[in-house]
């Protein structure tokens, strides 16, 4: 979850050879393993900070690093400082498409949508953090923000201290591929009726690193069940638009004034079914 973050094509970016580096808040498009994605150094709730941070693509992998301190928040009551990420598709808050014609797509027309990610994360001082993926389900395909009637669906593969918002309303079991083998996984499902309807799937056995492959459509179909049961504001979910697939790490809590952490995405791909 996050407030509006303006899209800047390049902010403090240095390009040499195949390498692209962001050293300040902003975003840029890259081609990662043949897929058009946008990488965004996203500190949406940070007003100011000191220290070093960067988001780098070297042609083979995407890496993030932060060693920041004296953090001042835009909203001191928020549990999240930011969400350094990559995304594939159209991100409403940025009003930007990474370069794919596949998304947005109506939920009723969403094919099998397999995402593969090879990742690892690290952090110091018991930092509140997650490894979370998400999409926005919107009423129109070209929205530049979201509001009541729209839906955020998150899929948390790892969390430390940081927990999903809202209340646990359900449980979900599905088979995904982990490090090359099919594994039955269990997820807690959370829901909150905020400025938009928020859902989060939290893996009950968090994974700090690994290679995962899963069908996003499985989570969207389960989300449809939860929305039908718990939402009073979403109408015609099947006619809404699946916009994007975002991958990153939310971090921080209201007491976090320093953060040292990072992650590496070694592989990313999307396979679309018939």
The tens-digit pLDDT sequence of the chain (274 residues) is: 443 333 334 434 444 446 999 999 999 999 999 999 999 999 999 999 999 999 999 999 999 999 999 999 999 988 899 999 999 999 999 999 999 999 999 999 999 999 999 999 999 999 999 999 999 999 999 999 999 999 999 999 999 999 999 999 999 999 999 999 999 999 999 999 999 999 999 999 999 999 999 999 999 999 999 999 999 999 999 999 999 999 999 999 999 999 999 999 999 999 999 7
Task: Judge whether 72 lies within some domain.
Answer: yes
- Using an 8 Å Cβ cutoff, are 93 and 138 in contact? no
Q: CA torsion sign, 246 to 153 to 112 to 209?
A: positive
Task: Judge whether 265 lies within some domain.
Answer: yes
Q: Which pLDDT score, from 0 to 100, does residue 41 have?
A: 98
Six token digits for residue 105: 């797509």
Other Cβ atoms less than 10 A from the Cβ of 124: the count is: 11
- Tally of domains in the chain: 1
Task: Judge whether 4 lies within some domain.
Answer: no
Q: Which pLDDT score, from 0 to 100, does residue 99 have?
A: 98
Tell me which residue of 19, 24, 17 sits closest to 54, measured CA to CA.
24
Cα dihedral angle (197, 82, 39, 149), rounded to 10 degrees? 10
Task: Judge whether 8 lies within some domain.
Answer: no
Output DSSP code: residue 34: T
pTM of the predicted protein model? 0.94
Task: Judge whether 206 lies within some domain.
Answer: yes
Q: What is the rounded CA–CA span in Å between residue 269 and residue 137?
A: 21
Q: Which pLDDT score, from 0 to 100, does residue 79 have?
A: 87
Domain with 82 in it:
13-272
Task: Judge whether 225 lies within some domain.
Answer: yes
Task: Judge whether 5 lies within some domain.
Answer: no
Q: What is the CATH number of the domain that holds 171?
A: 2.60.120.180
What is the number of residues in the chain? 274
Six token digits for residue 69: 């301190």
Task: Judge whether 193 lies within some domain.
Answer: yes
Burial class (CB in 10 A: 0-12, 13-18, 19+), 255: exposed
Output DSSP code: residue 57: E
């Amino acid at each position: 979850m996050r407030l509006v973050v303006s899209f800047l094509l390049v902010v403090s970016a240095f390009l040499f050879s195949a390498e692209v580096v962001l050293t300040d808040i902003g975003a840029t498009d890259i081609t990662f393993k043949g897929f058009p994605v946008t990488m965004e150094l996203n500190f949406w709730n940070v007003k100011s900070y000191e220290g070093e941070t960067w988001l780098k693509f070297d042609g083979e992998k995407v890496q993030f690093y932060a060693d920041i301190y004296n953090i001042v928040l835009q909203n001191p009551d928020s549990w999240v400082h930011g969400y350094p990420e990559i995304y594939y598709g159209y991100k409403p808050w940025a009003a930007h498409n990474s370069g794919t014609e596949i998304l947005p797509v109506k939920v009723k027309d969403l094919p099998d949508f397999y995402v593969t990610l090879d990742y690892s994360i690290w952090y110091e001082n018991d930092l509140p953090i997650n490894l979370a993926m998400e999409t926005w389900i919107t009423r129109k395909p070209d929205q530049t923000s979201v509001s009541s009637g729209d839906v955020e669906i998150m899929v948390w593969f790892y969390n430390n201290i940081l927990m999903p918002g809202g209340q646990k309303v359900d449980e979900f079991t599905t088979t995904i591929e982990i490090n090359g083998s099919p594994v039955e996984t269990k997820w807690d499902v959370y829901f909150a009726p905020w400025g938009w309807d928020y859902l989060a799937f939290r893996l009950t056995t968090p994974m700090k690193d690994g290679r995962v492959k899963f069908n996003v459509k499985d989570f969207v179909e389960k989300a449809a069940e939860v929305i039908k049961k718990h939402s009073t504001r979403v109408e015609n979910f099947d006619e809404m638009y699946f916009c994007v697939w975002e991958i990153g790490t939310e971090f921080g809590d209201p007491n976090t004034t320093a953060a040292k952490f990072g992650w590496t995405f070694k592989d990313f791909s999307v396979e679309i079914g018939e």
